[in-house]
Copies of this chain bind each other. A is one copy, B any other.
Amino acid sequence: MGPIRKAEPRVADAPRTLSAPGASEHAPDSVALPDPFRLYRGGMLHGGRIAYETWGQLNAARDNAILLFTGLSPSAHAAATPSDPAPGWWQRMIGPALALDTSRYFVLCVNSIGSCFGSSGPASIDPATGERYRLDFPEVAVEDIARCGFEAARALGITRLDVVMGASLGGSVVAAFAALFPDGARRLVSISGSPAASPFAIALRSVQREAILRDPDWQGGNYPPDRPPRNGMRLARKLGTITYRSATEWRQRFGREPLAGNALRASPFAPRFAVEGYLEAQAERFVRVYDPNCYLYLSRAMDRFDLAEHGGSYPAAFNGNRAERVLVIGVESDLLYPIHEQAALAEAFEASGVPTLFRRLASLEGHDAFLVDIPRFDAEIRAFLA
């Protein structure tokens, strides 16, 4: 990876949003949001900030930028950087000669507003009080995530993105971006996103939220940072992990293998199968880094997102969009955001006159395939960007 050059204005010296407990010790750079910043559902934010990381160099014309939105849980750390060499969540996709080729593109990944990895959210400090916002943070919508990403790009001197891309929640954010900013990007890539949450996805998320809300340690959102509602978060993450993969993959991967090293079971109901150990590891990792109130905020945002709010129908939302090309990717084994939802997104782009490529991938890894089945995603995105 070449040396990183940040576009002006530089914000390295600006005050940084405090990160959530357990977040990376490498606090990312951040940009200031316009102040005040009015949110989509009516709230108002003062002194808001958006954390970001970048890879590659912005060219002189400032027209080689890829804006990348994340799923619900990741930070902006999509790949290693000189200041944070730990592998990122899309490490194998971002770098010189990789699908998001940093010898050619300037890749900018933002931490969603409402999340807890440097951007303003329920776990960050309200500059007006010096305390965490907690539930006083205004309601966050998918549209706000899109807008804050664009604000971060603007703050770095970019007025139009070459590519706006995202997967999972990020795939829906790309749709919101297209609805809000008809001229915001030359190309769009929406992966495993949804134009509106299905009742099935809403049901699953409402159970995840309830697990947190009913954990006595949640304390109405006022838990001490070192004593979050761990049990509720564990359950929420385990359930999420189940819905992010597919039954077929797990049959091949775990079968009915017993859990290793579990010969002496402390409880008659202790985990017994390998798949339970996998869930346990996923939950433990998540509970250490993610803030419960932030989880609740973004989970609700996913439920409430409905592309049809923008003009009355999905195609109407993209009316007048001037993107040159759109790629929509869906995965056939996706249980949470089933492929007909990506098909509906692609149809909406197509119906509004935007040249659209819809790709159905046969990956077994379900909703998480974009994180795992790198060869398939690499090939699709590489071909589209070429």
Contact = CB atoms under 8 A, between A and B. Distances in A.
Interface of A: 135, 139, 196-200, 202-204, 206-207, 209-211, 213-214, 216, 231, 234-235, 238-239, 241-242, 246-247, 250-251, 253-256, 267-269, 271-276, 279, 296, 300, 303-304, 306, 335, 338
Given A198-B250, A231-B214, A250-B198, A275 B203 contact: yes
* Majority secondary structure of chain A interface residues (helix, strand, loop or mixed): helix
Given A197-B256, A210-B235, A203 B300 contact: no
Nearest to A251: B198
Given A210-B238, A238-B207, A251 B200 contact: yes
A246 B338 CA distance: 12
A296 B210 CA distance: 20
Determine how many copies of this chain the complex contains.
2
B304 A250 contact: no
A296 B234 CA distance: 19
Nearest to A205: B276
A229 B190 CA distance: 42
Nearest to A135: B268
B338 A247 contact: yes
12 contacts: A135-B268, A197-B256, A198-B251, A199-B250, A199-B255, A199-B273, A200-B275, A202-B276, A203-B275, A207-B279, A210-B235, A213-B269
A256 B241 CA distance: 24
Nearest to A275: B199
A276 B242 contact: no
Contacts of A204: 242
Contact of A275 (B202, B241, B253, B306): B202
A226 B223 CA distance: 29
A227 to B, nearest CB: 15
A279 B206 contact: yes
Contacts of A306: 256
Contacts of A210: 234-235, 238
A232 to B, nearest CB: 9
A239 B275 contact: no
A213 B238 CA distance: 15
Nearest to A279: B203
A279 B199 CA distance: 11
B250 A206 contact: no
A271 B238 CA distance: 21
Contacts of A274: 199
Contact of A256 (B199, B271, B300): B199
Given A200-B250, A251-B198, A206 B271 contact: yes
A202 B184 CA distance: 46
Q: Which of A203, A256, A304 has the most CB of B within 10 A?
A: A203
A268 B139 contact: yes
Contact of A242 (B207, B231, B235): B207
Nearest to A204: B242
A256 B246 CA distance: 25
